Amino acid sequence: MPRPPSRWPRWLYSAALYLLSPLIWRRVWREHALTNQRRERLGLIPRQPAGTPRIWLHCASVGEVQAARPLVEALLAHYPSRRLVITTMTATGAERVQALVEAMRRAGEPERIGHRFLPLDFPGTARRFVARLEPELAIFFETEIWPNLLTACRRRGVPTAVVNGRLSPRAFRSYRRLRPLMASALAQLDWLAAKSRGDAERFRALGMPTTRIDVVGSLKYDLTPDAATSEASKLLCTRLGSRPVWVAGSTHPGEDEQLLEAHARLRQHYPNALLILVPRHPQRFEAVAELVQERGMTLARRARGEWPDGRTAVYLGDTMGELLTLYGAADLAFVGGSLVPVGGHNLLEPAAMGVPVLTGPELANFVDVAETLRQGGALVEVSGSAMLADTLVTLFLDEAERHRLAEAGLAVVAANRGALALTLAGLARLLPGE
């Protein structure tokens, strides 16, 4: 019989949290949404009505909420009598959940999704949150391992799972320094659905029991753009006309400058070329707009209802929840976080929209996805702004190659779907369906 995990690592972790609490609180104070009270960070949520079964799904921020959408829709369909409460760490994640609720409302779906901010992982806060929420099942997306929340769930008999489990080599090196704490936390989990063999091995090396881990693949491949998104992309594409259009999504500081340099070079060959630039974080919208203007480029901003005319060089995607729509309206898509040491973002979003995928070399967070796209001949990799500019010029000259890349991307996505069904089957062992 396995020995229970030591409590000392979690006690030391909790003590460190208390010592750092002023800094932690200052950080989360800025992550505020008008729809939620800050007291939620302390687990002070209303007690849930009796007799209303709930599933709890935690997603850190915007990218995770977007990636979890197929799972959200499947959970609502698989458990029709239950509500789904989604927690996020960030205000932008909260906005994305609200956008998801609005989309389902427009589609005539019953409103069965709620949102709360994830409480800080203090022991008392975690116990209070779980006691008031009373979930039947707690699901954590990707790498969200919170020792006190997992312990609170275990003590109340709430089964827990990590889905789309991801642990990059870089993250593994950091977590390995805290192996006793991670082993203690992972021992509380009932099931971990890893998205690759490499991720599974890294979780095992941190102490995840082998009998509770399965490799199911990435839920990101199960992304299927809905009819409304596809229609919005077609309308936008029609309005933009026949000019060369490329989109750079989820960009970061130090990357926008390189993308604008590449765009300036592209416009030497195609003076009417348009870049749709979509920064990853909304707090950077103003700074990126100023950067575009400093470069002497004409700018239109989507959030202001401005429309790019034939002279506009950059269309700033300064809205939330529209990245798929913007990807689908372009001829080529560059996925950000890859020209700077961030680790990349979801390469499958433009692929699922039938748009050729370009990326930089920094792909630590998507090594397996990048390799799959690479093997399928569906990924174009560049090392910097000069190579990106040359690649853009080449691809805009070669319509046949753009079509081949688009079809190859769609084929890779279709061939690797299936993680959603395996994930639902695993969750059903913890909470049987209806």
- Other CB atoms within a 10 A radius of the CB of residue 247 amount to 27
Radius of gyration of the chain (CA): 22
Phi and psi at 169, nearest 5°, equal -55, -40
* 229/324 Cα distance (integer angstroms): 7
* 90/100 Cα distance (integer angstroms): 16
* 363/341 Cα distance (integer angstroms): 8
1 Cβ contact list (under 8 Å, min separation 6): none
Spatial contact of 232 and 325, defined as CB atoms under 8 Å apart: yes
Spatial contact of 57 and 88, defined as CB atoms under 8 Å apart: no
| Closest by Cα among 205, 192, 185 to 162 | 192
- Other CB atoms within a 10 A radius of the CB of residue 51 amount to 5
Amino acid at 314: V
Phi and psi at 141, nearest 5°, equal -95, 125
Q: Assess whether 64 carries a catalytic annotation.
A: yes
The structure tokens listed for 6 are 């030591």
Phi and psi at 171, nearest 5°, equal -65, -40
Active-site option among 40, 64, 322, 349: 64
Starting at the earlier edge strand, list the strands of the sheet with 191-194: 113-117, 83-88, 54-58, 137-141, 160-165, 191-194, 213-215
Instruction: Provide the sign of the torsion angle of the four alpha carbons 187, 189, 190, 192, taken in this order.
Output: negative
* 387/370 Cα distance (integer angstroms): 19
Active-site positions read 64
